[in-house]
Amino acid sequence: MELIFELLRQGGWFLVPILVASLAGVALFIERLLYLRRDNILAPKLVAEVPGLVRAGERQPLRELCEREGSSLGRVLVRGLERTRSTASEMREAMEDTGRRELYLMKRYTGALGSIATVSPLLGLLGTVVGMIAMFQGVVASAEASRGAADIGVLADGIWQALLTTAAGLIVAIPVYLAHRYVLGKIDGLVCEIEDFGRDVISTFAVDSVDEASEAS
């Protein structure tokens, strides 16, 4: 704690919002990791049993299983299975409607993570600029008062103190940016799996797909 207070004293009050941003970034990243747990999005029982029920053409048992198990996958599939006689386009539209809401819930707070990664280095740069301005004003005033050259030691000391905020902003921004990209990649992977299950359900239970299969046989 003493080190933090010393850095705040040296770097100025611009380090405060950067510190707050770092805490917010950690909290949001942990919250997204907890929400995006695979079991929460793709219920294990659904992942294990849906393919077999789809191959067997068991529409009602599949719907009941999805309603019972829940999860993002279950809610998407239930919407496609609600109407007993739906075309492929109707099932797809119903699933996509629910899928958009589930995607919104999965992406919630990811924008905030991206904003923290963008704003943190800007705050650091602003703190550095403000610090440099104040430092040069002090050096000029000191030189005028003593009617001599500026003290190089004081100048160097002021520069490194001003640069503290830039370093702090980058230290926060880099890991938060990586966390943001990781979360988006995880969401893309989960969405692809949901879409795979959805395509299998549509190709098996859509009215026009069933009719085409009957004609082919």
**Residue 13 CB coordination number (10 Å):** 11
User: What is the per-residue pLDDT for 182?
Assistant: 97
pTM: 0.83
pLDDT score recorded for residue 120:
93
The answer to whether the CB of 93 falls within 8 A of the CB of 203 is: no
Query: How high is the pLDDT of residue 214?
Result: 46
* DSSP helix/strand/coil, 194: helix
pLDDT of residue 112: 95
Q: What does the pLDDT look like over 15-46, one tens digit per residue?
A: 888 989 999 999 999 999 999 999 999 999 99
Residue 118: the pLDDT is 95
Q: Which residues contact 51 (CB under 8 A, 6 or more apart)?
A: 200
Q: Which residues of the chain carry a pLDDT beneath 70?
A: 1-12, 137-158, 160, 208-217
- Dist CA 206 CA 60 (whole Å): 14
pLDDT computed for residue 134 by the predictor = 72
* DSSP 8-state symbol, 36: T
Tokens of 213: 């299969």
Does residue 131 contact residue 21 with C-beta atoms inside 8 Å? no
Q: Which uninterrupted H or E stretch holds 137? A: helix 110-146
Q: What pLDDT score was predicted for residue 215?
A: 46
**For residues 196 and 54, is the Cβ–Cβ distance under 8 A?**
no
pLDDT, one tens digit per residue, over 52-62 is: 999 999 999 99
